[in-house]
Amino acid sequence: MNQTQRSPKSPMIRPGSGQVYNQSSSSTSNSKSSSGSIYTLHKNNQQPKPKKDVSFFGFIARVLTCRGDIAAADDDDDDHFAPPAAIQSSTPTSLGSNQMLSHSASSASSKADDGLRGIDELSFQDICKATGNFSAANIIGEGGFGTVYKGKLKNGSVIAIKRAKKMIYDKGIPKEFKNEILTLSKIEHLNLVKFYGFVEHGDERIILVEYVSNGTLREHLDGKRGNGLEIGERLDIMIDVAHAITYLHTYTDQPIIHRDIKSANVLITDKLRAKVADFGFARIKVEDPEATHISTQVRGTAGYMDPEYISTYQLTDRSDVYSFGVLLMELVTGRLPIELSKPNSEKYTIKWALQKLKAGEVVLAMDPKLRRNPPSLMVVEKVLRLARQCVAPTKQSRPSMRKCAEILWRVRKDYHEYNDVMVGANHSVQIPEIDARKNRREFFGIEDSNDQRFLQSA
């Protein structure tokens, strides 16, 4: 049995409810400014487009042309990434005339939709202006890797600008920065944030990504954003996230394990759909059909991490499935994975929710913000049953993400059919409006008061 073997290092675990960032969309071109270096990726099977068709964001859409120090991981880095096969090597002085850079058809078609047509170049100074010189007022997220800013470009377009912390550059480029750009350069999916490129300027390391304007899933569950998510909207979000992870595991050139699936890394659009973000901990699987796992140091967020991965240092795609199971429980209970303010019996959401499921008390596990009705109860019970499979102690007992998506599709179908039946039943009977208070007074001589009430038997 072949596998990637390296000596495990001490775990890197993010704090429980660390916020990610919000991000919106566009396309890219090369920077002629000597003040910063902007890189893009020339993908396979792409044809160079005439210069007149390519804006700045047309060039850096879908990313990067890496220099060797970015593409190559350190020798002692157990999370080694091979550089993408089609990377065009470039230097800051050659970028201005490099005609090999191009953008995909999808990014070209999205250029007009995203409102980024006509941008000729973007320098580090442009990024400073877009963020108000990295003003605190434009901060939309914080993380271990850096700070994320909302940036408004000179043509009015909005993007998210992720600025790496300078203090974490112990040597060369920080690994999370490399992980993110190399992973994002390989993916394109409706439910994953879009990547436009990255910028190097002196000791500045900046990633340019899609801006999703409606905050994180965690903010919605906490009531900090929106008007509360109904169970149907939560089902849509579950399915969106399942599709995103299924794509990473199954449909990329090399399978990708996200390693940090959590509600703070799920961004919500204005239409209440989900996009998965933050690929700093992502791991691209080695091309070895006989490999069963990757031996690597532990990374992730407390409360979401696969216990088997923590104890064995063996990472598989089922580790993402475990995290997804925790996310499902968040969506139906509204709780964080670890609730420090709760009594010991309720502190760990997984244990508490599964106890309620076993006892047939699903209604007690529901998020108090959700409506209590038969269709909602049906959804919560079925989702908790799926979540129980996802958080099974061993990876062999967990379903694939594709299977999770299929189950959730059936749950959503059942939910809508159940709702339609209930609506039809309610409309089939004409019930006259009744003034209950007036009837009590006229027919029974009973007045409403604070210390008595009238109970009518069925």
What are the residue numbers of the active site? 260
**Alpha helices by DSSP H, 360-435:** 362-365, 374-390, 401-428
Q: What is residue 1's three-state secondary structure?
A: coil
In terms of Cα–Cα distance, which of 196, 209, 177 is closest to 282? 177
| Other C-beta atoms lying within 10 Å of the C-beta of residue 454 | 12
CA 254 to chain centre: 19
Return the H-helix or E-strand segment holding 105: helix 105-114
CA 153 to chain centre: 24
Question: Taking the C-alpha atoms of 13, 403, 236 and 269 in order, what is their torsion angle to the nearest 10 degrees?
Answer: 50
The C-alpha atoms of residue 43 and residue 238 are separated, in whole angstroms, by 31
**Alpha helices by DSSP H, 119-261:** 124-130, 175-184, 217-221, 231-246
The sign one gets for the Cα dihedral 368, 371, 373, 377 is negative
In angstroms, the Cα distances linking 275 to 208, 211, 214, 244, 302 are 16, 11, 11, 8, 21
254 neighbors 186 (Cβ within 8 angstroms): yes
Neighbour-count burial of 372, counting CB atoms closer than 10 A to its CB (0-12 exposed, 13-18 middle, 19+ buried): exposed
Contacts of 133 (CB under 8 A, 6+ apart): none
Say if residue 166 carries a ligand binding annotation. Answer: yes
The C-alpha atoms of residue 430 and residue 447 are separated, in whole angstroms, by 28
Return the H-helix or E-strand segment holding 196: strand 195-201
101 neighbors 17 (Cβ within 8 angstroms): no
Binding site as annotated, residues for ATP: 166
Binding site as annotated, residues: 166
